[in-house]
Amino acid sequence: NLGDIDSCIQDLIDLTEDYKQLEATHKDYTVQLEQLSELQTKCVKNLSHQRYRLGIIKSTLKKYSVTVLIKPKDESEKEKFELLNKDLMRRQAQLNEMEESLPKKSGTYLKIILGSVNVSFLNKQERFKYKDDYEKFKLALSAIAMGLSVTNLIANLRILDLAFVFLMVWYYCTLTIRESILRVNGSRIKGWWRAHHFISTALSAVLLTWPDSTTYHLFRHQLMWFYVYISFVQYLQFRYQQGCLYRLKALGERHDMDITIEGFHSWMWRGLSFLLPFLYLGYFYQLYNAWALYQLSFHPGSEWQIPVLSFLFLILFLGNTLTTSMVIPQKLRD
């Protein structure tokens, strides 16, 4: 018994050796942490100063750009002008690259939801992992939504309907948070897709308040089929986005750029042209929902939810169609 206590004491003494080392490492760490935060503040400050002064130069140049380009006094003026512009562009690209390893500020929405917590990643791998997670999260929730909406088509339980719609509120709300984090970390996700998820949250919230009435039952089947279809499209989208993500990552790691960028583009166009018909079909389904709800709003037992939902579906149809249609010419230009 006493022997056991002695062996415990011996163990603790052994551990103390390791602990001493850990203490030293930790001391080093805290000192460096302090230094790093100073360097960071300095970089952020100087960078924003550079940005500010570049901005002034650019706006001065802009004022003269029309006269210089249309009727330059001489060739040398035009040349100088173009050279200067190129220099400015290069400098700005350099600053952008620097910014990648510096913390970025959250937008208002994130500040309200999360408070002043720093959500920026300081390196590429973490950023990649985050995006990858985001896509997988969407896929997992689409699978669940598919399962629930099929169940709802077979069964007809009010409570299950509500659980499904509440899941949708939660899902779209979570998406807006994750997308804001992606945005802070430099994703070029278009404003519309984020707006889309805000509108979808609102739409689901309105659905949640729609009572269990005759009109609801007239629309219920169409709604559940819509979610089945959307979940399926989500799966196709996942395949496409995941493909882009991994190929772009591989591109960034290898350096034989010429061949692979072409490879990437051809893959992307194939993926896109496979995906687009399914997307447009989905958008027409949204238009069809808007139309059906519009018709339903003349039903004698119509609730206020019906015209509101009709309007929201119409907005979704318009926004999606416009945004997706604009992506194609934009990608052709790049």
Ligand X SMILES: CC(C)(COP(=O)(O)OP(=O)(O)OC[C@H]1O[C@@H](n2cnc3c(N)ncnc32)[C@H](O)[C@@H]1OP(=O)(O)O)[C@@H](O)C(=O)NCCC(=O)NCCS
Range 243-302, binding ligand X (CB under 6 A) = 244, 275, 279, 282
Q: Which of 120, 124, 163 is nearest to 144 (CA)?
A: 163
* Residue found by looking up tokens 């030293």 in the block: 24
Stretch that binds ligand X, among 65-73, 85-93, 202-210, 238-246 (CB under 6 A): 238-246
User: Which one of 237, 289, 297, 305 is in contact with ligand X (CB under 6 A)?
Assistant: 237
185, 124 contact by CB (below 8 A): no
Is residue 183 a contact residue for ligand X (CB under 6 A)? Answer: no
Residue 233 is a binding residue for ligand X (CB under 6 A): yes
Closer residue to its own copies in complex, CB, 104/260? 104
Query: Helix (H, G, I), strand (E, B), or coil: what is residue 310?
Result: helix
The structure tokens listed for 35 are 């230094």
Task: Please identify, among the stretches 9-17, 27-35, 64-72, 186-194, the one whose residues bind ligand X according to the rule CB under 6 A.
Answer: 186-194
The binder of 174, among ligand X, its own copies, none, by C-beta within 5 to 8 A per type, is its own copies
326 interface partner picked from its own copies, ligand X, none, CB below 5 to 8 A per type: none
Tokens 């591109």, residue located: 251
Binding partner of residue 279 among its own copies, ligand X, none, CB cut-off 5 to 8 Å per kind:
ligand X
Q: Least Å distance between CB 162 and its own copies?
A: 6
Measured from the CB atom, is 191 or 301 closer to ligand X? 191
- Rule CB under 6 A: choose which of 113, 140, 189, 257 binds ligand X: 189
Q: Which two tokens stand for residue 288?
A: 């069809």
Q: Quick check: 314 binds ligand X (CB under 6 A)?
A: no
Residue numbers 57-86 binding ligand X by CB under 6 A: none
Minimum distance of its own copies from residue 33's CB (angstroms): 6
Name which of its own copies, ligand X, none residue 275 binds, using a CB cut-off of 5 to 8 Å depending on partner kind. Answer: ligand X
Q: Kindly indicate which of the ranges 94-102, 142-150, 162-170, 189-197 contains the residues binding ligand X, using the contact rule CB under 6 A.
A: 189-197
Cβ contact 121:104 at 8 Å = no
Give the angle 43-115-140 at the CA atoms, nearest 5°: 100
Residue with tokens 């139309």: 291
Which CB sits closer to its own copies, 57 or 281? 57
| Nearer to its own copies (CB atom), residue 36 or residue 250 | 36
Euclidean distance between CA atoms 294 and 288, whole angstroms: 10
**What part of residues 112-131 is at the interface with ligand X (CB under 6 A)?**
131
Question: Nearest Cα to 203, choosing from 80, 308, 76?
Answer: 308
227 close to 149: Cβ distance less than 8 angstroms: yes
CA distance 43 to 35: 12
At how many degrees (to 10) do helices 214-253 and 124-154 cross? 150
Measured from the Cβ of residue 156, the count of other Cβ atoms closer than 10 Å reads: 11
